Structure 1
Amino acid sequence: MDAQTQSGTSRTPERWRGRVVRGDRGVVRVRRADGEDVAARVVPGPGGESVPCVGDWVSVEAVGAELRVVEIEPRRTALERAEPGGSSRRQVLAANLDAVAVVVGLDQMPSLAKVERLLVVAWASGAPATVVLTKADLASDGPDVAEEVTTQLGAPVVLCSARTGDGLAEVAALAGDGTLALLGSSGAGKSSLVNALAGEDLVATSEIRADGRGRHTTVRRELVALPGGGWVIDTPGLRGVGVTDTEGLVAAFADVEELAASCRFADCGHQVEPGCAVRAALDAGTLSLRRFESWRALQREAQWLERRADARLAAEQNRKLRRSTRAQRRYRRARGH
C-alpha cells in the first residue's frame, strides 16, 4: 500500500526537494524539479535558527493547504558577513556557491582596502573568489586598474561592461554550470551585470547619487538562471561588511600569510623580532606597508569576532544547561523525589 489509505486520505504529508530562489520575511520561493517556483512558509526555531537562504536545498511538505519548509540540507559553501553593530552573529547572504565575484565599479577609483575586505569575506565562503571590475566603458584606465589589483592583491580579475557586453562571457564562465554570487557595494553595477548576463531586465537598477554612492536597489537576494546554464545571485549592496573569521584571511592574504609562516618564531609579532620574514619583506619593498597594515587590522577584527562568538556559544550552552537543570528539578518535585 502506498501513501494513500484505503479511504483515500493521505497518511503522510507530500514531501519534495527544491532550491530556494528568493527569500522574503517568513516565506521563500522554492523551485521544484519541474522548474515551477512555489511559495513555502518558514517556521524558524526559537533562536531564529533553521532559516533558509537563497541557494539552500530544502525539503518542503504540504501541510493541509500550506507548503512548509521542514528541512534544510547541509550547505557546501556559504557566503556570510558579521551582523552590523558589533554582534558576533553571522548573516548568511547565499548558500551552495561555486564561485564569488567581488564586484567593483570603475566609475570611481577603487579602494584597495575595501576590495581586500570583500575578498576576505568572499574566500571565507569556501568558494573561489574573483574581482570583477564593471563599468569598463566609463574608464579608459581599466586595464591599468586591473593590473594593479592583480599585482597588489594577488587576486584574479575580470574586466567587463554590462553596457557594451565586453567581458560578460568571462563572468558567465565563473558560474559555469554552478552558482555565482555577486558581492559588492551599492552602485557597483551588480544588478546591471545580472540583467546583462541573463539577457533581460530581471532586476531593478538605479542611478548613482550625486555624492557618488549607490542606492540600495536590490533589497532581497534572488537566484537567477543564466541562458547558457548556471545561476547567479545578486546580493544587496553592502556599505559596511564585517569579516566573520580568520579563514578568509589565509586565502585573501596568501602572500602575507606565507611570509608570516616563514618567520623564525611561531608567535612573531612582526615588530623587532629577529628572523622576521614579514619585516624583511617590508624593508625590501616586496611587501607594501599598506597591505601589511590592512592584514593586521582585518586579523585583529576577525580574532575579536571569533572570541565574541566563542563567548556567546558558551553563554548559550550555559543557559540551556540551566534550563535543563530547572526542568529536572521541577520533574523530581512533581514525582515527590
Structure 2
Amino acid sequence: MARGPRRDEELWLDGDEEAPRPTASARKPLEGRAKTLAPESANGTVAQLFPNRGGVRLDSRPGIVLCNYRLATLAVRGERRERSPVCVGDRVRVEGDVIVGRCERRNALARLAPNARNPVVHVIAANVDVLVVVAAAREPDFTPGFVSRLLAAAAEQGVAGVVCANKADLLEPGAARPWTDFASAAAAVVECSARSGAGVAELDRLVRGKAAAFCGNSGVGKTSLLRRLLGDDSYGRVAELSAATGKGRHTTTGAILLPGPGSSTWIDTPGIMDFEGASSR
C-alpha cells in the first residue's frame, strides 16, 4: 500500500524524499519563527540540521559540533510555520551544547514544504550572497520554469543568481542551449562539466570568497561540482556527520555548509523536484 502524505513534523529533511518515522521528541509541532539575537551575540553558524539538533561550526574552533535546540526557547508564534526554527547558514548562539538563539537573517531562500497538509515554510539556506542554480545540459532535461522560480526567489531576497549548466560535455554539436536565455535576466550563466573540469574555473570565479548555495533537481551534479571546486575527491561520497553516531554517512539527506577556499562558504543541498517560493526571514 502506498504511503500517504508526510505529516508536517516529518518535514525536517531538505529534499523531497520520504522521511523516516519521527521519534517521540520530534513530534512536537514546529510553530512560528525563531527568536532573534543581536549579530554580536553569535558564536557559530549552522552547518547541518537534524530533528531537534543541529551541527554548528563554531567561530572558535574548526569542525562541526552537534548541538541540541529547544523549541520552547527558539520558536515564537508567527503568521507562518517553519519546519525548523533554524536553518543551514543561520548565525546562532551556542551555550554548552545547546543552540539558545539565532541572529536576524539578512536573507533566506525559502519554499513551501512539499506534501504538507498545512502551509509550512522550508528555509533552504540563509545569509547567502549567491544562489547557484545547477541544471543539467542533458540527463535530466533542462527545466526553464524550475530555474526561473529559483532565480525569482533569489532576486526577491537580494541574492545574486548564477545558472550553471552542468554535463555540457554530453551536448551534441549544434544542440539547443536554452539556459543562455537567462543571461539577460540579471543572472550569470556558465556551462561546465564536473566530469572533465571544463568551465569549473569560471564557476569558481563567481563563488569564491562568497556564501553560495547550490540548488537544483536530483541528478544534475551539484555535489560533483562542489567536489571539483573544493579539490576534494572524497567529498559527497561520505557525508560529514550523522546525528546518531557523529560519523560520516553515505547519503546526504539535508543541506551541508562547507568551508571553501579563503572566506568562501558553500552550501550543498539535496535535490528537489519542484520549487514554490515562500518569504521567510
Shared fold (TM-score greater than 0.5)? yes
Report the TM-score when normalising by structure 1.
0.58
**Do structure 1's residue 218 and structure 2's residue 252 form an aligned pair?**
yes
Match of 2:50 in 1: 24
Moved more, 144-153 or 169-178: 144-153
Structure 1 Cα separation of the partners of residues 66 and 132 of structure 2? 28
Kindly indicate whether structure 1 or structure 2 has the higher relative contact order, using CA contacts under 8 Å at least 6 residues apart.
2
Matched, 1:36 2:70: no
Equivalent in 89, 98, 110 of residue 80 of structure 1: 110
Which letter maps to 2:70?
V
Q: Are positions 1:132 and 2:158 aligned together?
A: no
* Pair 1:235 & 2:269 matched: yes
Matched position secondary structure for 1:227: coil
Matched residue SS, 2:154: helix
Deviation at 1:159, TM superposition (A): 0.9
CA deviation vs aligned residue, 1:167-195 (integer Å, no higher than 9, x gap): 21222222232211011101111111111
Call closer, same or farther: CA 1:194–1:22 in 2, change over 3 Å: same
Unaligned runs of 5+ in 1: 1-14, 206-216, 246-308, 310-337
CA distance in 2, matches of 1:235, 1:115: 15
RMSD: 2.8
Amino acid at match of 1:202: Y
Report the residue type matching 1:55 in the other structure. Answer: G
Secondary structure of 1:90's aligned partner:
strand
Contact 1:223–1:233, Cα closer than 8 Å, also in 2: yes
Aligned-partner Cα distance in 1 for 2:268–2:262: 18
Q: 1:150 to 1:93 in 2, by over 3 A?
A: closer
| Alpha-carbon distance in structure 1 between the residues aligned to 2:49 and 2:109 | 15
Q: Who is 1:264 aligned against? A: none
Check conservation: 2:69, 2:98, Cα contact below 8 A.
yes
Q: What is the identity, as a one-letter code, of the residue corresponding to 1:19?
A: T
SS of the residue 1:58 aligns to: strand
Tell me, in whole angstroms, the C-alpha distance in 2 between the residues paired with 1:194 and 1:125. 24
Separation (CA, whole Å) in 2 of partners of 1:222 and 1:131: 20
Indicate conservation of the 8 Å contact 1:30/1:39, yes or no: yes
Change (3 A) 1:42 1:142: farther
Residue 82 (structure 2) pairs with residue 51 (structure 1): no
Counterpart residue identity of residue 89, structure 2: G
Residue 91 of structure 1: aligned partner? 122
Distance 1:37 1:154, change over 3 A: closer
> Aligned residue pairs: how many?
218
* Secondary structure in structure 1 of the residue aligned to 2:193: coil
Stretches of structure 2 lacking an aligned partner (at least 5 in a row):
1-40, 239-250
For residues 260 and 215 of structure 2, what CA distance do their matches in structure 1 show?
Answer: 18
More strand by share: 2
Q: How does 1:168-183 map to 2 (within 5 A)?
A: 168-183=200-215
Partner SS, residue 156 of structure 1: strand
Report the AA paired with residue 107 of structure 2: T
Please tell me whether the aligned partners of residues 42 and 91 of structure 2 are also in contact (alpha carbons under 8 angstroms).
Answer: no
Relative distance call for 1:89 and 1:145 in structure 2 (3 A) is same
The normalised TM-score by structure 2 is 0.69
Q: Residue deviations 1:64-87, cap 9 Å, x none?
A: xxx100110011111101122474
Amino acid at match of 2:194: A
**Deviation of residue 229 (structure 1)?**
4.0
Name the stretch that deviates more: 38-47 or 87-96: 38-47
Q: Relative to total residues, which structure has the larger helix share, 1 or 2?
A: 1
Q: Report Cα offsets for 1:186-241 as digits up to 9, x if no partner.
A: 11111111111111121139xxxxxxxxxxx5311101122354011111211021
Identity score, percent: 33
Distance 1:171 1:182 in 2: 11
Q: Assess if the C-alpha contact under 8 Å between 1:191 and 1:203 holds in 2.
A: yes
Helix, strand or coil at the partner of 1:53: coil
- Answer yes or no: is the 8 Å Cα contact 2:209–2:261 preserved in 1: no
Following superposition, the deviation at residue 143 of structure 1 comes to 8.5
User: CA deviation digits over 1:239-288, x for unaligned, max 9?
Assistant: 0211226xxxxxxxxxxxxxxxxxxxxxxxxxxxxxxxxxxxxxxxxxxx
